[in-house]
Structure 1
């Protein structure tokens, strides 16, 4: 590995005393593409060599209740090697690793992952035969119960149409735990995916083939959003309105440097607002969200801009924040301000009548 800790733009995760990082690309002369683990100067695990283009998007970890229980998940998109023109150019995947995996034996998978399992992500509408296969970004809404953690994934298809699909962590873990493998060969004990240290040569030989689950990981429902807008980055926030209802808000960047603020609703997503963080049209390089302060940080090649998602002054001195259905804001009786338990809101319908009924709105 020669001390290579990846490119600054690569996906990385530091948890406990361990660094996980990825190397993406077509082929890399300096290092093998894939996921790396580094705990100390001479304590590391790296991927098997694979001559196929990969682009890593997101790493998330569940440390579990015991040291050997921890699992790491990497979300990435991989070039399709099929020459069939009817097949997609990219294949979206998620892989599961044991965080305690330190590699195999001296002559078999030494220092390389022995716990990596892979499954394919599906995003699309089967009835309309519409699919989205190029994974662009992933945002995570963690829950106290890990199984209820939600994964929001941004895709595009061959026609540059964007889509967002939402996956539940319980579905992902179930498939890795109980789905059969695509390979016709039965996995030897211990069960593939279990975090154990005693691994036989037969088991290591099976894992050396990078086993893939037969069942695809499907979203909780059809695509949450399908849009002609060419979205490039995704962040997701959770906002609690005055009636103690939680709303998911998506922040989606556009190719022209603008950002859509979208509230998730049962009857479909609704665009609350469009931000223009830069004075001129530019490409957004990255977007980070601080959920504790409700601040969004957006960068271009030359600027870094902070956006306050709770800035309700844009609605002026009228009750327009209720019309906008913005869960961050509410009508105080005199102005739109960050929502409190006493604010007037109607995120569901945006009914202006509630302003007049409650506060005699302007």
Structure 2
């Protein structure tokens, strides 16, 4: 390996992990990583389901379901094989699919509430579902002694890699998936229950336009907070091709869609179709820079006040269709903001060849609204009783005029985040983002007010294993990849092993104890102002952000380097460096060609919401002997 290659690998580690050993950190916290050899030959884990009362984690894999006791990770996992008969696999390959894809990939695991788990798999492009008895960890048998199966069409995707989401609401399954072998038809549907209640979206590009489904959430109204008798709702998040823009390029936009739990379709118009389907655009944009993030990749749903559905917030993980380099952003949308947009004006999509048609008047009762006490008092006890003019309007106007907008609380360039989970501080003054990367890492970012602070970057798996699942349970994160599982401690100031890292967690009520040389809970609440920088100044000079240790790089003339700077917001970063015409800034990083004039000290400074932070890292560069 060349000297330049070594440098480029070491620079991010020195900068982001403060020189600490990730293996020692994990070991010191008593956390565990289970590699591929642990799982009895099973692989391609795609689905997690956790029994929070027992800590038992169920994993959906290729041709198998596994059960792992997260309290006893040293014990051997239990495994059920559910594979595809050889003749069915051959038939699948004969239809043009690859041998690898013609297996049974478990894509759905959901508790049924009666001691069973509903399990659905791709089953060689013919989705099937089975029932798993939790107590005996066995699949239910049919009368002939084989596994009892039922069709999984509309409940599970046909293809292993297809985007898909599902949520259980009151024992009924709601899904967003492809519904044909070719993967060209898309439905958001009520997939279980009585045949009359199984309804879906209209087959119209105005409803769904080549969507990539991401996440779903069931928001159940509580009796105490529901004086109007409003209906429970299911929300779906996805990215689709926008039909409202007259552009040659296919513009992708993130969406949120809502349906109502009591919806049973219309009597004539929208028969066996949603009468409450409405959708709106999500806008994650940093207005000062004009940067917009339009590809939604994950959503984490959280009630900021437990037990209060109206306090629900959705943390969205985004990237950009237009950026060539890796880029990730996080925006937070409140349920109240989404509701305001869905209760607002409708967008008129109909047009002639030359001009837009005048908007149609909105009929009464308002199209797309959920049933409540007021509607029932007017005689609309069911969606079957809604007038045709109301149903026709909502069929033709599924999109809202206004968008749900938010500014990013985090932006990272050069990193592709794949999964997101969130914990709030006890006083709910801030949050910790647990972010999985496409290179098998777990990153922790503290968000307090408008400031985002990188706390830790922990390599968990190999760089070929992207993080595809994160579950938070009892102060730990259960992190999965297609091949491995990790359990990582997530709560407590002891997570932060150095003064600098502890100082970054000042907004989370942690402070460094010089006597104990350890990070401990703060005795007093953080004061106003730049809490993190105040804490950093108390660290030893070699650890503080405003005077970091000088890292010497021995280089040779002509060598090209890329010096990284960790940028957590869209605000600009700048470098102080010796003047040299071969030195160029590329976004937040610095490209340097080693010459006699370019030797010296390099310091990166970033802005956070208009205020400069202190330097993130600095280097001196010496000529190679």
Determine if the alignment matches structure 1 residue 237 to structure 2 residue 390: no
Equivalent residue for 1:169, pick from 335, 338, 359: 335
TM-score, structure 1 length as denominator?
Answer: 0.82
- Cα displacement (A) at 1:269: 0.7
For the Cα contact (< 8 Å) 2:469–2:481, is it kept in 1?
no
Q: Corresponding residue for 2:505?
A: 325
Determine if the alignment matches structure 1 residue 6 to structure 2 residue 6: no
- Cα displacement (A) at 1:30: 7.2
Q: Corresponding residue for 1:110?
A: 271
How many angstroms apart in 1 are the aligned matches of 2:287 and 2:496? 40
Change (3 A) 1:63 1:328: same
Determine if the alignment matches structure 1 residue 295 to structure 2 residue 476: yes
Determine if the alignment matches structure 1 residue 264 to structure 2 residue 426: no
For the Cα contact (< 8 Å) 2:439–2:467, is it kept in 1?
no
Cα-Cα RMSD: 3.2
Instruction: Judge which range, 252-261 or 305-314, deviates more.
Output: 305-314
What are structure 2's unaligned runs of at least 5 residues?
1-126, 128-150, 350-358, 372-381, 541-625
- Cα displacement (A) at 1:152: 1.4
How many angstroms apart in 1 are the aligned matches of 2:182 and 2:194? 22
Q: Corresponding residue for 1:359?
A: none
Change (3 A) 1:211 1:230: same
- Cα displacement (A) at 1:263: 0.4
How many angstroms apart in 1 are the aligned matches of 2:387 and 2:184? 28
Instruction: Judge which range, 63-72 or 230-239, deviates more.
Output: 63-72
For the Cα contact (< 8 Å) 2:511–2:535, is it kept in 1?
no
Instruction: Judge which range, 142-151 or 129-138, deviates more.
Output: 142-151
- Cα displacement (A) at 1:98: 1.1
How many angstroms apart in 2 are the aligned matches of 1:30 and 1:162? 28
Change (3 A) 1:334 1:126: closer
| 1:1-362 correspondence runs (5 A) | 3-4=152-153, 5-7=155-157, 10-24=164-178, 29=182, 32-42=185-195, 43-50=197-204, 52-64=209-221, 65=223, 69-80=231-242, 84-85=247-248, 89-105=251-267, 107-144=268-305, 145-157=308-320, 158-159=322-323, 160-182=326-348, 184-196=359-371, 197=382, 198-219=385-406, 222-228=407-413, 229-240=415-426, 244=427, 246-278=429-461, 280-290=462-472, 292-310=473-491, 315-316=496-497, 322-325=502-505, 327=508, 334=516, 336=518, 348-349=531-532, 351=535
How many angstroms apart in 2 are the aligned matches of 1:296 and 1:179? 41
Specify the SS of the correspondent of 1:189: coil
How many angstroms apart in 2 are the aligned matches of 1:114 and 1:201? 11
For the Cα contact (< 8 Å) 2:285–2:405, is it kept in 1?
no
| Cα-to-partner distance string for 1:128-179 (whole Å, 9 max, x where unaligned) | 3321111111112213343332221111112143221111211111111233
Aligned residues: 344
Specify the SS of the correspondent of 1:46: coil
TM-score, structure 2 length as denominator?
Answer: 0.50
- Cα displacement (A) at 1:37: 1.1
Q: Corresponding residue for 2:25?
A: none
Specify the SS of the correspondent of 1:192: coil
